[in-house]
Amino acid sequence: MAAVTEPVAAEDETLVDKDGLIAQLKAELPDDVVLHDEEDLRPFECDGLSAYRELPMLVVLPATEAQIQTTLRICHANNVPVVARGAGTGLSGGSLPLDRGVLLSLARFNQILDIDADNARATVQPGVRNLAISEAVADLGLYYAPDPSSQIACSIGGNVAENSGGVHCLKYGLTTHNILQVTIITLEGERLTIGSMALDSPGYDLLALMTGSEGLLGVIVEVTVKLLPTPEVARVALIAFDGLRQASNAVAAIIQAGIVPAGLEMLDNPAIKATEDFVHAGYPTEAAAILLCEVDGTAAEVEEHIEAVRDVVERCGATEIRLSQDEAERARFWAGRKAAFPAMGRVRPDYYCMDGTIPRKALADVLIGIGDLSQEYELDVANVFHAGDGNLHPLILYDANNPGELERAEAFGGAICQLCLDYGGSITGEHGVGVEKIDQMCVQFPPAELTQFHAIKSAFDPKGLLNPGKAVPTLHRCAEFGAMHVHNGELPHPELERL
């Protein structure tokens, strides 16, 4: 993992004329848009991954697209790096600022621009909260499906940048499956529309490319999302097991039975205990693991699928099956799952949330492997995750005030990433790479693939000034990390050495 003591910045350390840059920006922008006093910059020094901190050189808070374009053109002309930021709820350091760069906050872009119920879509600015979209269309019988646990606070622009998912992504997909069109502004200030209002558009699928690009290719200023009809009925089955392997086998068995739940989540015993103590959702604290399996649709469909789920999990050794009897109980079951992360703050002062993804068949082996790593690194871990699509979220518990614990937590996280790769998985599912997993990118991707990533970056951002030092490592960095050999020390795209 990248040490927190390292400055997360571009490798090209050319000094920036801060006073000159401020003067240029203030000559073109209103006074309240440019922040440069330390007390004004402090709230932007980190995102949800609070172990990584860096004070930005200055912050720009634009209120119009024209102000964004002006800011980007000035930064482009002065070779100043720019980091775009949404709500700051990210968990990989993706919006971590640079001490010699501009942090561009999209907080003022918080308007729902259009709701088209007839075509089941809405166009919103990037600062609109995820949950606000569903709230705005609820009276129309519609909702926006992706629902990260942070949906009450996270913004749609950040969701696009990280390709966020949520507890219902198994059936309804990630952000990339639920958007139609995005508008971006390039570093040179050009406004581009990617995708279309139709279900498909000709040419390369640049919309999928932009989704999950972590701010490396452009600044998102507008998003058109798909809306879905609110299901007639939704019920949750809370299913308890006395072993991780039985619970993991049940996950695979449910899918193999032809059932596609709206959500299929798992919590292990440490997560159950911490969550129940915090939320009082009614979780059985003696269970080794629980599944939350939601099915939705018509009343007849739900009844049929619930009975099918019951039959499957009983054969897999479930010790308790409890069905939500009304909407209040359903909401309570999910409230526990969505509050699992903050619940860990009552157990230890700090936690480090990982985000590996594995094939469902490997769930039990990887969870047992994480338990072994917990003993090796002498740090407790709680697992709460999207079991249906194999997206793990191990929460490594530590206390940053104790010397060496943060470093052990980082090493533990790196070992979890490697474990996921060993089982044919990936180092991230929805949190992104950011700065947290950039070294593990060197392990997952060979030099030829990283070279292509850099070529795409160069096509959108030739100077390499958008969010440098994040998501895609240089081959030089990978060579230093010890993950690959760089022939004669040469980088195929030398203009991107700063990334």
CATH number at residue 243: 3.30.70.2190
497/93: higher pLDDT: 93
Same domain, 409 and 476: no
Judge whether residue 469 has pLDDT over 60: yes
The predicted structure's pLDDT at residue 50: 74
Positive or negative, the CA dihedral 356, 358, 360, 366 is negative
Choose the final residue of a domain: 342, 373, 391. 342
Same domain, 475 and 388: no
40: helix, coil or strand?
Answer: helix
The predicted structure's pLDDT at residue 198: 86
Same domain, 136 and 210: yes
Q: Is the CB of residue 457 less than 8 Å from the CB of residue 496?
A: yes
Backbone angles phi, psi at 351, to 5 degrees: -140, 155
The predicted structure's pLDDT at residue 200: 81
The predicted structure's pLDDT at residue 8: 34
What's the mean pLDDT in 340-353? 91
Q: Please measure the distance between the N-terminal and C-terminal CA atoms of the chain and give it in whole angstroms.
A: 17
Task: Please check whether residue 12 lies inside any domain of the structure.
Answer: no
Same domain, 302 and 365: no
Find the range with the poorest average confidence among 279-283, 384-388, 462-466, 488-492. 488-492
pLDDT band at 135 (very low <50, low <70, confident <90, very high): very high
pLDDT digits (tens, 9 = 90+) for 68-103: 999 999 999 999 999 999 999 999 999 999 999 999
Q: Is the CB of residue 474 less than 8 Å from the CB of residue 499?
A: yes
The predicted structure's pLDDT at residue 14: 57
Same domain, 309 and 237: yes
Q: How far does CA 350 lie from the centroid of its chain?
A: 19
Cα–Cα–Cα angle for 159, 161, 163, rounded to 5 degrees: 60
Judge whether residue 493 has pLDDT over 90: no
What's the mean pLDDT in 64-71? 98
DSSP-derived secondary structure letter, 498: T
Find the range with the poorest average confidence among 7-11, 55-59, 444-448. 7-11
Same domain, 165 and 179: yes
Percent of the chain exceeding pLDDT 70 equals: 94
Task: Please check whether residue 430 lies inside any domain of the structure.
Answer: yes
Judge whether residue 2 has pLDDT over 60: no
Q: In what order do the strands lie in the sheet with 102-105?
A: 34-35, 58-60, 102-105, 82-85
pLDDT digits (tens, 9 = 90+) for 360-369: 999 999 999 9
Same domain, 369 and 311: no
Please state, rounded to an integer, the average pLDDT across all residues of the chain: 92
Candidates 494, 497, 490, 471; CA nearest to 2 is 471
Choose the final residue of a domain: 412, 438, 464. 438
Task: Please check whether residue 130 lies inside any domain of the structure.
Answer: yes
**Domains identified in the chain, total number:** 5
Task: Please check whether residue 9 lies inside any domain of the structure.
Answer: no
Same domain, 218 and 166: yes
pLDDT digits (tens, 9 = 90+) for 161-179: 999 999 999 999 999 999 9
The predicted structure's pLDDT at residue 100: 94
Q: Beta strands of 269-389 (E only): which ranges?
A: 289-297, 320-323, 350-353, 381-385
Tokens, residue 352: 């480090």
Task: Please check whether residue 392 lies inside any domain of the structure.
Answer: yes
Judge whether residue 232 has pLDDT over 60: yes
Tell me which residue range forms the domain holding 487: 446-496
Task: Please check whether residue 5 lies inside any domain of the structure.
Answer: no
The predicted structure's pLDDT at residue 483: 53
Task: Please check whether residue 93 lies inside any domain of the structure.
Answer: yes
Q: Is the CB of residue 437 less than 8 Å from the CB of residue 427?
A: yes
What's the mean pLDDT in 390-412? 95
Same domain, 361 and 337: no
pLDDT digits (tens, 9 = 90+) for 4-37: 333 333 444 557 899 999 999 999 999 999 999 9
Task: Please check whether residue 11 lies inside any domain of the structure.
Answer: no
CATH code for position 400? 3.30.70.2740
pLDDT digits (tens, 9 = 90+) for 404-413: 999 999 999 9
Percent of the chain exceeding pLDDT 90 equals: 89
Cα–Cα–Cα angle for 490, 493, 498, rounded to 5 degrees: 90
CATH code for position 70? 3.30.43.10
Judge whether residue 430 has pLDDT over 50: yes
CATH code for position 123? 3.30.465.10
Same domain, 463 and 380: no
Same domain, 30 and 119: no
pLDDT digits (tens, 9 = 90+) for 246-258: 999 999 999 999 9
Same domain, 287 and 327: yes
The predicted structure's pLDDT at residue 482: 67
Q: Beta strands of 338-413 (E only): which ranges?
A: 350-353, 381-385, 394-398
Q: How far does CA 307 lie from the centroid of its chain?
A: 34
Q: In what order do the strands lie in the sheet with 112-116?
A: 112-116, 121-124, 219-226, 179-185, 191-195
Choose the final residue of a domain: 48, 79, 105. 105
The predicted structure's pLDDT at residue 393: 95
